[in-house]
Amino acid sequence: MMTAAAYGRLGQDPKSITTQSGKSMAAASMAVVIAEQEAPPLWVNILAFGRTADDLLRLQKGDMVSASGRVQRSTWTGADGTKHEQLQIIADSLVSSRTVRPHGGSRKQSAGARQEQLPDLNDHVPF
């Protein structure tokens, strides 16, 4: 078994899928840029189940995401007879800008809230 972590941008909105056994699942594709190369990005599929699927479904096309989990190779023959191969990550964890900063990254606070967080430098230090 091989595990991997990949960081890239979602190429489409994640899709919700229900398996034959009734479990919820989500699928998306991610463009991963290979560092120091001018080649086109590597497209990796992400499959997620359960809670991780719920997390994936909160994302949308264009979001940056890091996915880690078990790597699986999917192979199929197209309608024209050509063989295709695709890597996919069966994600057990996802991290995105939306999960790190769920409200768009706003760090704005009122001036009063900022002052309450700062220590009072005029307090007497007992040592």
Q: What are phi and psi of 51, to 5 degrees?
A: -60, -35
Label residue 93 by pLDDT band (50, 70, 90).
very high
- State how far the Cα of 54 lies from the Cα of 113, in Å rounded to an integer: 33
Please answer whether residues 62 and 76 qualify as being in contact, where contact means their C-beta atoms are separated by less than 8 angstroms: no
Give the pLDDT confidence score for residue 97 in this predicted structure. 72
Asked if residue 9 lies in contact with residue 31, where contact means CB atoms within 8 angstroms, the answer is: yes
What tokens appear for 35 in the block?
Answer: 């560092």
Q: What is the pTM of this model?
A: 0.70
Residues 6+ apart with CB under 8 A from 103: none
d(CA 10, CA 30): 4
**DSSP-H helix ranges across the chain:** 50-57, 97-100, 111-117
pLDDT score recorded for residue 101:
54
Domains of the chain: 2-98 (2.40.50.140)
Q: How confident is the model at residue 100 (pLDDT cuts 50, 70, 90)?
A: low
Please give the residue that has the higher pLDDT: either 74 or 69. 69
DSSP per residue, 17-42? EE-TTS-EEEEEEEEEPPTT--SPPE
- Give the tens place of pLDDT for each residue, 23-62: 889 999 999 988 776 788 889 999 999 999 999 999 999 9
Q: What is the dihedral of CA 22, 23, 29, 30, to 10 degrees?
A: 170
Mean local confidence (pLDDT), 116-126 = 49
